[in-house]
Structure 1
Amino acid sequence: MVVSDLWFLAEEASQRAEQAHQRLRERYSGYLDDRCTRRVSRRRFRTLARRVKRTGAPYGAQTIVRRDDGEVLLVRHEGVDLWVLPGGEVREGETYREAAVRELHEEAGITADYGGLAVARRVDIRCSECETWGVLPVFAAAAEKTTLRVRDPDGEISAARWFPFEDLPADTRDRADLLAWRDRAAP
């Protein structure tokens, strides 16, 4: 693939991201608009741009799940060697919320009462030659069952645990963002 083909893919992905973001605006209200930038290799850029072109979301959908005592659920993702929010790719025909619900069940073995969209994060994706963007919808939910059981068919998730917001592990991806979202993420 030459640079012009990568540029074209990036443009198509950006158009799809705009459509996805517009649908989120039409469907949900009261969520936090957030933004971040990811600088990636050309190969990773191609992978993420293809995902965005297909679904509008480079990383799928996530859920901030709380239980009654206020603790938040994190899962250990071995692919990135970090604690992360449960979530993942959107399958063909799934809504973002359906993907978030499915991923929560697979990665932690629980169900939750979804309260809506907490954050619609714009993820700007850049490599040396091109840039595009996608959305990362983060839903808020209250745990209905709090006993955790990892059932991840991909084998990427090795553990699931509840953590107080004040005591998140140092190796939590987007730790500062989670703390900033804490008060907005109540379902």
Structure 2
Amino acid sequence: MLWRRKVEPYTRPFVYAWFRMTRGLTLGVRGLVTDDEGRVLMIQHTYVPGWYLPGGGVERGEIAETSLVREMQEEAGVRVIGRPTLLSVHSNEPRHPGDHVLFYRVHAWEPCEAAEQGEIHEIGWFHPDGLPSDVTDATRQRIAEALKGAAIDPMW
């Protein structure tokens, strides 16, 4: 088996490429931010209807937490202070094959200027019991899991 150790450095790029083609995976992050009144921060995108928790895709070479911090600042004008807490991991397979979403809670933050470039239509703060009617089911479920102790659904 010593031969495997010798050829592995040369075959690794091909094996990784094969895994990427046959086991494609994308990763996203979403964050729950609340204010002093217990209201939840939500956003509306310009390209899809409804209200969502801020977040987005993890870029190649980026740490998931770093992605969340970046997305919070870009989309919502929230500067994360300290480390967010990972609450749950979800499969988004029915809507996006191979996609998973990490759901975080942001405990400490301060307002800052958003750096988004036309992606966000509106930012709003809503009481968990008074969410807009066009909040996605997945968003409602994550809020219930984080703030009301609902059972965690592994599906986004």
TM-score normalised by length of structure 2: 0.70
Match of 1:104 in 2: 72
Matches of 1:161 and 1:122 in 2, distance apart? 26
State the Cα deviation string for residues 26-51 of structure 1 (Å, max 9, x = none): xxxxxxxxxxxxxxxxxxxxxxxxxx
User: CA offset at residue 78 of structure 1?
Assistant: 2.0
What is the correspondence of 1:35-114 to structure 2 with a 5 Å cutoff? 52=25, 56-57=26-27, 60-113=28-81, 114=83
Matches of 1:165 and 1:97 in 2, distance apart? 24
Matches of 1:179 and 1:163 in 2, distance apart? 11
Match of 2:13 in 1: none
| Contact 1:86–1:107 under 8 Å retained in 2 | yes
- For residue 107 of structure 2, give the secondary structure of its aligned residue in structure 1: strand
Matches of 1:169 and 1:143 in 2, distance apart? 25
Match of 1:121 in 2: 90
Match of 1:170 in 2: 133
- Structure 2 portions without partners, runs of 5+: 1-18, 151-156
Paired residues in the alignment total 129
The change in CA–CA distance for 1:164 and 1:148 in structure 2 (over 3 A counts) is farther
Of 128, 151, 158, the match for 2:115: 151
The change in CA–CA distance for 1:76 and 1:150 in structure 2 (over 3 A counts) is farther
State the Cα deviation string for residues 75-123 of structure 1 (Å, max 9, x = none): 1112111110101122221111111110000011111344411121112
Identity of aligned residues (%): 29
User: CA offset at residue 132 of structure 1?
Assistant: 4.0
Which letter maps to 1:120?
V
Of 91, 101, 105, the match for 1:140: 105
- Structure 1 portions without partners, runs of 5+: 1-7, 14-51
**Larger gyration radius, structure 1 or structure 2:** 2
- For residue 182 of structure 1, give the secondary structure of its aligned residue in structure 2: helix
